Amino acid sequence: MKILETLKHEQAGEEVTFARSSNGVDIALCRTPGFTTASGYFGLRFGSTDMRFRMPSGEVVEVPSGSAHYLEHKLFEGREDKVFDRFGRLGAEFNGGTSFRTTNYHFTTTDHYLDCLDVLVDFVQHPLITEERVDKERGIIEQEVRMYGDNPGFCGTFLLHEALYKAHGIRIEPGGSVEDVRRINAAELQACFDGFYRPRAMRLALTGDFDVDKVLAHLDSRLDAPDGPIAEKLYPQEPALPAEEWLEKPFSVTRPHVWIGWREPTGLADGRARLRQRVLSSLVLDLAFDTSSETHERLYRNGDIDETFQAYWSSDKDWGHVIVSAICDEPKEFVKVIRKAAADFVADGLNKSDFERLKRAAWGGLVSGLQTPSALAGSILNAMLERVQPFATLDMLGEIKFEEVVARAEEMFLPKRSAVAVLIPEAEDA
């Protein structure tokens, strides 16, 4: 185990120690004196969109949608003893999550911290994946996927992804389709594990009122999975413009639910550059459509939008888009009004005092968000997986200039990069 460096972050009021285990896992530890709970977050950059990859042996593997999420479920089964039982005996809260590009496993506890840490690093490093075990989980995962099938917000977002992208993996929800869940097998999940769950790819974020040296010494012998090369991710070629201008789907909703997207043409940069892009984009969206904007106020007073209106930015290394959504009566009219509002916002020019106020509010929200040891550990793991320093967003907010936001606004709402998805009410029998 080797301590690499220490980061003392005044604005966040936190100090983080970075280390690397003998087998190559990067670890960040943040002491939280006076706090009762302690957390561990273990994760890697492997997610639902990683469905095709070249193994270190050269073999190209294709797995069904939902494989990363299925694998997450299987890891929780443990080897001899279920992870539910192991954490349960210790009284810890635990969970996992699979996103488009990452998977993470975490616990929070008030006691037996090192024992919980043992469970975490053990079950993530040493799974037992057999056909019988994979089959057993199928019904549970199918129910989880179906649960989202009744959620218009969830389904509409993925309909928009289908409109925005022609081949990208984010067209499919992280849980996969029911059909794919029904056919995933043990060999495919084992290939995912062997290709990506390597120590050099794993990141571990730990928070609590602990002794850093003691925790590191404890971990060294337990981070014992053999290191090795990681599989190469193979992504389909994605055209620079949306796949469809307008997609509609009948759904059991009372009024139409509408999503408008504006996408980036090509892949975004990595690390800090991508974070900067995200912060800039979020600031532009707040300036344009937050409840503090003139545009929002005007649209709200006119009855063009109501409290269901939302706008947000989503991105990773090879996608980035704005999503504006709302429930409305006339989708075509709504889309026309919002697109014009976006164009007018850019043409009319941005206001510097609005920009300063929004930065201040964003800063307050970020500091407050780093409250509990669990939130802190989650934030630090995210930063490690994004390849940026923890709390880098706070630093970036201070650095960003008004002119950068103006420039970003000018490239965000181009009509040729926009697409629409609508869930249309269908008649109900009941």
Least CB distance to another protein at residue 109 (A): 6
The yes or no reply on residue 415 touching another protein (CB under 8 A) is: no
- What is the per-residue binding string for another protein in 362-391, x denoting contact by CB under 8 A? xxxx-xx-xxxx------------------
Q: Is 24 in contact with 18 (CB distance < 8 Å)?
A: no
Among 24, 152, 248, 414, binds another protein (CB under 8 A): 152
Least CB distance to another protein at residue 296 (A): 7
**Based on CB atoms, which residue is closest to another protein, 56 or 364?**
364
If 0-12 CB within 10 Å is exposed, 13-18 middle and 19+ buried, where does residue 339 land?
A: middle
**Based on CB atoms, which residue is closest to another protein, 223 or 299?**
299
Among 11, 23, 190, 314, binds another protein (CB under 8 A): 11
Stretch 154-173 residues interacting with another protein (CB under 8 A): 155
Least CB distance to another protein at residue 181 (A): 12
**Based on CB atoms, which residue is closest to another protein, 139 or 229?**
139
The yes or no reply on residue 398 touching another protein (CB under 8 A) is: no
The yes or no reply on residue 361 touching another protein (CB under 8 A) is: yes
Site stretch for another protein (CB under 8 A), options 49-57, 136-144, 162-170, 398-406: 136-144
Stretch 219-278 residues interacting with another protein (CB under 8 A): 249-255
Burial 341-363 (b: 16+ CB within 10 A, else e): bbeebbeeebeeebbeebbeebe
Least CB distance to another protein at residue 24 (A): 31
The DSSP annotation for 187-223 comes to: HHHHHHHHHH--GGGEEEEEEES--HHHHHHHHHTT-
Among 35, 235, 246, 402, binds another protein (CB under 8 A): 35
Least CB distance to another protein at residue 414 (A): 27
Look at residue 422 and give its three-state secondary structure: strand
The DSSP annotation for 32-94 comes to: -TT-S-EEEEEEES--TT--EEE-TTS-EEE--TTHHHHHHHHHTT-SSS-HHHHHHHHT-EE
The yes or no reply on residue 333 touching another protein (CB under 8 A) is: no
Among 101, 263, 296, 417, binds another protein (CB under 8 A): 296
Rounded-to-5 percentages of helix, strand, coil across the chain: 45, 20, 35
Tokens encoding 186: 């043990």
User: Strands across the sheet with 52-54, in order?
Assistant: 60-62, 52-54, 232-233
Least CB distance to another protein at residue 21 (A): 27
* Residues touching another protein, count (CB under 8 A): 73
Q: Write out the H or E segment, with its range, that includes residue 276.
A: helix 271-289
